[in-house]
Amino acid sequence: MDAHDAKNRREFLKTGVLAAGAATVAGGSFLTGALPALGQRPSGSLGRGDAAILRFLSALEQIEADLWQQYTELGGVQTTEMEQIIRHKLAGGNAPYTNALNQLDGDMAQYIHDNTEDEFTHHRWLNDYLKSKGVAQEDLSQFATLESSTAEGALQLGRITNLMRLTVDTTWFTRLRAREFNPDLNPNHVFLPVVKSLAMGEFPAIPRSNADLKPNNHLQAIANTAGFHFGWIEQGGSSLYMQLAQRARHPEVLRILLSIGPTEVMHFQTWQDKAGNALVAPLAPLTDPTNPQLTFPLIGDGNEDIQTNLIMPEPTFFLTNKFHHVSILRPTETEGAAMAAAQSFIDGGVFRGQPPAFMEMLKDLARDADAARGHDQIV
């Protein structure tokens, strides 16, 4: 997509003159329909802002489904139910990688399975809803062109996302534990990553091939990277649904956001608990023997900001530092929320290998979601 194409797409979305009809895009159905102008909500239709929010979330859920499918193929419970969910016959998983994940928690394979199912249902349901309103669905199948892992258990499919060259931001681990700093009130505060090395390179979170299955500490480093990436994926969704809910106009759209959003919170709480286990004995400290740049430190007692067994957000300031501390998820600021989420995925490396057209398409969707305006604020 060149600059001219991107501009045209933006103008179509702004004016709401997308032609009705359907087109087939790389194995997926992409329905286009006119988006009504803001404030115009005929019976059974959506305002343009609400449609933009749901379209962005649908695209993001498809991205998450693509990430989680790769984790499921190699490290999740292998069931016929999952085959029905992903619509492919699984190859049986990867026992060494699954075992390495299980060092973080014995239930990892089941949780990966369940998280995968949730993301697929979110994406498909949102598209069902958009279609019922005559609004364009989001299908990124045309961008499923990235290579798959060749390790045993991985399906040889085109991927939207790349799990083999990640830069994982682990500041989410400290941000939810900081009592005196809320990113909404302290936007310039620097939250430190709990695993600094993950933010300083490009690392695999799944075995790239069977060669990555040995030595054991190398495979464990890959599994630990996945453990922190799980939390990174889901912390974004936990805040994003709350942030965009503030921009919804129609009560039914608000109901949707407030109903799906809490499941993302449940995912996040699960994964931050598991990630912490990578930083305590006997797993920690650990250095990847094939890439000494990657290290997982041993976290001791005495520093609540990085305490490994905290799974609930510590109370902090909210709205103003004049009120008492309160336990909340954060951030909750809605300005630029969608673009921040899109940019975090880009910065994290999950789209390495995608063409510029993909990045521009995702940013277009984010801009439209951020442009949505909810009800007037009560002063």
> 11-31 pLDDT, tens per residue?
434 333 333 333 323 333 333
Q: What is the mean pLDDT of residues 355-378?
A: 86
Query: How far apart are the C-alpha atoms of 361 and 250, rounded to whole Å?
Result: 25
Query: How far apart are the C-alpha atoms of 271 and 260, rounded to whole Å?
Result: 18
Does a structural domain hold residue 75?
yes
Does a structural domain hold residue 379?
no
Does a structural domain hold residue 316?
yes
- Prediction pTM value: 0.87
HSE toward the beta carbon, residue 196, CA cutoff 13 A: 5
22, β-bridge pairs: 31
Does a structural domain hold residue 377?
no
Query: How far apart are the C-alpha atoms of 270 and 265, rounded to whole Å?
Result: 9
DSSP 166: B
Does a structural domain hold residue 58?
yes
Query: How far apart are the C-alpha atoms of 194 and 232, rounded to whole Å?
Result: 12
Residue (of 281, 173, 175, 178) closest to 227 by Cα position: 173
Domain containing 298 equals 3-371
Query: How far apart are the C-alpha atoms of 73 and 306, rounded to whole Å?
Result: 31
Does a structural domain hold residue 78?
yes
Domain count, the chain: 1
In tens, the pLDDT along 52-98 reads: 999 999 999 999 999 999 999 999 999 999 999 999 999 999 999 99
Does a structural domain hold residue 378?
no
Does a structural domain hold residue 309?
yes
Residue (of 151, 148, 52) closest to 98 by Cα position: 151
In tens, the pLDDT along 293-305 reads: 999 999 976 677 7
Residue 284: other Cβ atoms inside 10 A: 17
